[in-house]
Amino acid sequence: MALPSYASPLERLWRYTYLLICTAIFIFLIAPILIVIPLSFNAEPYFTFTEKMLAFDPEGYSLRWYDILLTFGMAAPEAARDGAWWADVWENATWVQVAKNSAIVGVFSTLLATVLGTIAALGLSRPEMPYRRAIMAVLISPMIVPIIITATGLFFFYSSTGLSGSYAGVVLAHATLGIPFVIITVTATLIGFDRSLSRAAASLGASPTTSFFKITMPLIMPGVVSGALFAFVTSFDEVVVVLFVAAHDQQTIPRQMWNGIREQISPAILSVATILVVISIALLAMVEILRRRSEKLRGVTPY
């Protein structure tokens, strides 16, 4: 939106002020995420830029906080860094353990949420679905209900069913929390899905299963994958439910970060944060690519 030629000086001035304001807001949005990256390479245990860092002196930077992620919780961190040392890291290092838990819980809850959510989205997007609005409201509600209420409810429910302190409990809870995201993304993809394609497949003799796997599935795949990524991120980022229902064995990355922030905040947290930021950049890039691919597949050009 360039300025029209008839714009008055005041309008020109406002235009530049407006762009300045927008830049400031973009900085507000993005700076807090980027600031942790350089700080995580701090050689000193401070949360601010030291003079050496500002002077780009290599001595001001170090990888010590990344090293701590490996050594913290190890049986023999001082030993020579050979195969046995790495085995020790894999078996005992606290951050590695929580990363493993996050991955296990994330993958299984994502699978559960994606499979159930996609099947349900197929039903929900059919025009003849009865009580569509009410059912949709129920299925989206885990996203809306405050997480503390969900966690409280699950705490009581799990302690009466014996699921508390088990992987199954955390996976089920995270799957529930991820479902709304799968439903929203997959139904959005299905809105643009041309149902005459399925009918054409049926008229050519395909069974509903064949037509689903050969026709529907490839077309909605980008939506399903981005829904799955949303569900994974939800689980990967979830701390309150873990706080309430998980035992010591099921601590996840955010749970360990929570501990770190509450008790003794150290730059090691920033190195974890940096790794997570890199992961989220990768996921975002993936979703963007999928979105474009989906638009191309469906032949929709945005707007």
Considering only residues 271 to 290 of the shown chain, the ones binding another protein according to CB under 8 A are 273, 276-277, 280-281, 283-284, 287-288
Structure tokens at 233: 């991120």
Contact set for another protein, span 23-82 (CB under 8 A)? 25-26, 28-33, 35-36, 39, 46-49
The answer to whether residue 140 forms part of the interface with another protein (CB under 8 A) is: yes
Nearer to another protein, 79 or 200 (CB): 200
Q: List binders of another protein among 163-192 (CB under 8 A).
A: 172-173, 175-176, 179, 181, 184-185, 187-188
Answer whether 43's CB lies under 8 Å from 64's CB.
yes
265's CB contacts (< 8 A; 6+ apart) are 47
Question: Nearest approach, Cβ of 69 to another protein (angstroms)?
Answer: 15
Position 138 contacts another protein (CB under 8 A): yes
Burial of 226 (0-12, 13-18, 19+ CB in 10 A): buried
240-259 binders of another protein (CB under 8 A) = 240, 244, 254, 257-258
- The interface region with another protein, picked from 84-92, 93-101, 127-135, 216-224 by CB under 8 A, is 127-135
- Using CB under 8 A, which of 13, 87, 149, 289 touches another protein? 149
Residues in contact with another protein, shown as a per-residue x/- string from 200 to 239 under the rule CB under 8 A: ------------------------------x--x--xx-x
Paired strand residues for 61: 42
CA distances from 14 to 17, 24, 123, 243, 252 (A): 5, 15, 50, 49, 49
Q: Which residue has the tokens 């407006």?
A: 18
Residues 6+ apart with CB under 8 A from 173: 109, 150, 154, 241, 245
